[in-house]
Amino acid sequence: MTNNDDILVYRLGATCDLSDVTEGSIYQGKVQGFANFGMFVQLNDRIKGLVHKSNMRAEHKEKDTVLVKVRGIRPNGNIDLEEVIIQVYQVQNIERKSTIVRVSDLKSRVGKTVAIEGEVAQIKQTSGPTIFTIVDESGTQNVAAFVEAGVRAFPEIELNQIVRVIGEVMMRNNQLQIEADVVTALSGEDTTAVRERIDKALDTRAEPEDIPLLVESDVMERLRPEMRKVAKIIRKAVFVSQPIILRHHADADGICSAVAIEQAVVALIRESGADFDAENYLFKRAPSKAPFYEIEDITRDLDFSLKDHVRFGQKMPLVLLTDNGSTEEDEPSYKIARVYDIPFVVIDHHHPDATIDKYLIAHVNPYHVGGDFGITAGMLGTEVARLINPKVEPAIRHIPAVAGVGDRSEAAERARYLDLVKDQYPEAACKDMALALDYEQFWLRFNDGREIVKDILNINGNTERHTNLVALLVDGANTMIEDQMSACMPHVVARELSSGAKVFLIDVEIHAHKFTFPPPGKTSGEVHDRLCKANPGSPVVTIGFGPDFAVLRSRGVLMNIPRMVRELRVEIPGGGISGGGHLVVGSIKFVEGMREVVLEALIKKIGEAQVQK
């Protein structure tokens, strides 16, 4: 029930600018500070004016609410105010229906003041301004807010909040940036509406393109829905600036799988308009030393992620495991990750244990659809990479062939992938790349060697350097392999089993060079290859063992190594047994004092396995 005689006092909304201020009108304001010539009064977060001391009517302190009349607006935008004291008045809010601009449309607004709405994906304090990374349904935008050098602006704004930013669009170092006047957290209904809008749009944007596989494959055709799901999860992580950690088995197949995905993700990060160095802090590829995601790996990943979260306001990561991750050996790490709600995605071709799927948000594995390890991680990774970002296909289409020969795949797909690239990379070239990857990873140890590995796979486009590097690495690897074989082959001990299988034992601890290339697993593999050649037509199992481990390879013996390991664990109390791997290629660990018992029991089990004639 307002009286018409009441005096109107205006209150400016957050989005109002100078054009909403009228000379002669009265506004409600807040005392911002004092100078010896008067006091500054804010009409909203962006607009302030000066009340000269001759126009002050009362004593005030900072943040007092005052009523002021606009005496004049100068050409430079300065506002002269005069304090007024009124007892009875009516307040009217002035809201500017500022149209919200989509991040992808900012390019055409340079020099203009705009409003954007989105989720805070990162808050980074620099030595100058605070940088907020805002994600909306169309893209990612950095917003700089400055109070004082190195001081956090808008400290009330938190990660993952839905906010409205008002500021000027600028070009900084060739990148669009908004210099924020105001960053306000939206509340209640507004938040829900914006979040829904963003989620819906992101969902559509993250949907992978519907493209056919590189080669014909029934198994991968059946895996397509899960591959699409993984691609979508990864695309979405990129669009919301969630860091991605890509962990992989440190052999040629694992590296191939991870490198294909790396190309797709890094290119997508660049395209989505994030910071020029975003590909370095939002994506990390790292090999796992063990053939599984061990506690050391999760501990390291967690340690770095939590520190980045606290220091740079980064989101917690999405972790993607390839050529690793589908067995119960990974479970202890998943349990730790779960405490921190870290989502996991797995692309693997190891025989999966059903117990681990509860830890994963997606899991591509040929065993789920009646396939087996012949579809290697590098094949799966490359197909997923194409779904993440089809543009990188020309650079990665030879990678499945390299992975296939590296992992000695016997699936029909191996030949199809080789055929696809035979003009540029014949089988011998693919084998060389695979060997070069294995050899180089030995020297890289825990490092990803991003650019060296790209040269080995000829992704950097410098073919001359690629050719020289691979030739040199292959030469180095072969020399060391020959050296190792001439030392250990004379020490191989043969056993004939009643099943007709031949078991060969080699103590790689005392009859092979240690801490060198090839390491025990690969050494056993090389020994196995030579024994297979020397025993054509016979089922062959090679056991390379050390004090507390054994590595198994087999040809023509239908073993199930993960199951044998599980049985031995029960049958030999005090054996300290663990391990796993593929059905016919795997490893087992035990305590040193029980080695003879475990090896004999293992050989007995091998003797019980069916042989192929």
Interface residues with Mn ion (CB under 5 A) are 253, 323, 377, 407
Q: Which is nearer to Mn ion, 239 or 373 (CB)?
A: 373
Which residue has 């691609």 as its token pair?
231
The least distance separating Mn ion from the CB of residue 253, rounded to whole angstroms, comes to 3
The least distance separating Mn ion from the CB of residue 230, rounded to whole angstroms, comes to 17
Q: Which is nearer to Mn ion, 81 or 457 (CB)?
A: 457
Q: Which is nearer to Mn ion, 130 or 441 (CB)?
A: 441
The least distance separating Mn ion from the CB of residue 394, rounded to whole angstroms, comes to 24
The least distance separating Mn ion from the CB of residue 247, rounded to whole angstroms, comes to 14
Radius of gyration over every alpha carbon of the chain, rounded to an integer in angstroms: 32
The H helix count followed by the E strand count for the chain is 16, 23
Nearest of 104, 41, 400, 111 to residue 252 by alpha carbon = 400
Token pair in block for residue 275: 């910071």
CB 365 within 8 A of CB 357: no
How far is CA 161 from its chain centroid?
Answer: 22
Q: Which helix (H) or strand (E) holds 543?
A: strand 540-545
Q: Which is nearer to Mn ion, 177 or 365 (CB)?
A: 365
Name the pairing type of β-strands 140-145 and 130-135: antiparallel
Q: Which is nearer to Mn ion, 263 or 324 (CB)?
A: 324
Describe the crossing of helices 377-388 and 252-271 by its angle, rounded to 10 degrees: 10
Q: Which is nearer to Mn ion, 142 or 324 (CB)?
A: 324
The CA distance from 302 to 558, in Å, is: 39
Q: Which residues contact 562 (CB under 8 A, 6 or more apart)?
A: 327, 351, 353, 580, 581, 583, 586
The CA distance from 46 to 166, in Å, is: 9
The CA distance from 503 to 513, in Å, is: 22
The least distance separating Mn ion from the CB of residue 391, rounded to whole angstroms, comes to 26
Question: How distant, in Å, are the alpha carbons of 397, 400, 453 from that of 213?
Answer: 11, 12, 25
Question: How distant, in Å, are the alpha carbons of 557, 561, 571, 574, 586 from that of 565?
Answer: 16, 6, 10, 14, 10
The least distance separating Mn ion from the CB of residue 327, rounded to whole angstroms, comes to 13
Name the pairing type of β-strands 283-288 and 244-249: parallel
- With CB atoms as reference, the residue minimizing the distance to Mn ion is 253
Q: Is 180 helix (H, G, I), strand (E, B) or coil?
A: strand
The CA distance from 346 to 338, in Å, is: 15
The least distance separating Mn ion from the CB of residue 350, rounded to whole angstroms, comes to 7
The least distance separating Mn ion from the CB of residue 218, rounded to whole angstroms, comes to 20
Q: Is 37 helix (H, G, I), strand (E, B) or coil?
A: coil
Q: Which is nearer to Mn ion, 253 or 438 (CB)?
A: 253
CB 578 within 8 A of CB 540: no
The least distance separating Mn ion from the CB of residue 318, rounded to whole angstroms, comes to 22
Q: Which is nearer to Mn ion, 38 or 586 (CB)?
A: 586
The least distance separating Mn ion from the CB of residue 542, rounded to whole angstroms, comes to 19
Token pair in block for residue 332: 């202890």
The least distance separating Mn ion from the CB of residue 497, rounded to whole angstroms, comes to 28
Which residue has 């001759």 as its token pair?
54
Instruction: Return the half-sphere exposure (C-beta side, CA atoms, 13 A cut-off) of residue 106.
Output: 30
The least distance separating Mn ion from the CB of residue 559, rounded to whole angstroms, comes to 18
CB 325 within 8 A of CB 252: no
The least distance separating Mn ion from the CB of residue 477, rounded to whole angstroms, comes to 18
Give, as one character, the DSSP assignment of residue 100. Answer: B
Q: Which is nearer to Mn ion, 360 or 377 (CB)?
A: 377
The CA distance from 206 to 221, in Å, is: 21
The CA distance from 167 to 101, in Å, is: 11
Beta strands in 74-194 (DSSP E): 79-83, 89-94, 113-125, 130-135, 140-145, 162-172, 175-185
The least distance separating Mn ion from the CB of residue 407, rounded to whole angstroms, comes to 4
Q: Which is nearer to Mn ion, 381 or 575 (CB)?
A: 381
Q: Which is nearer to Mn ion, 139 or 287 (CB)?
A: 287
The CA distance from 499 to 608, in Å, is: 7
The CA distance from 362 to 359, in Å, is: 9
Q: Which helix (H) or strand (E) holds 484?
A: helix 463-488
Q: Which is nearer to Mn ion, 119 or 407 (CB)?
A: 407
Q: Which is nearer to Mn ion, 162 or 215 (CB)?
A: 215
The least distance separating Mn ion from the CB of residue 414, rounded to whole angstroms, comes to 12
Q: Which is nearer to Mn ion, 168 or 372 (CB)?
A: 372
Q: Which is nearer to Mn ion, 247 or 315 (CB)?
A: 247
Residues recorded for the chain: 613
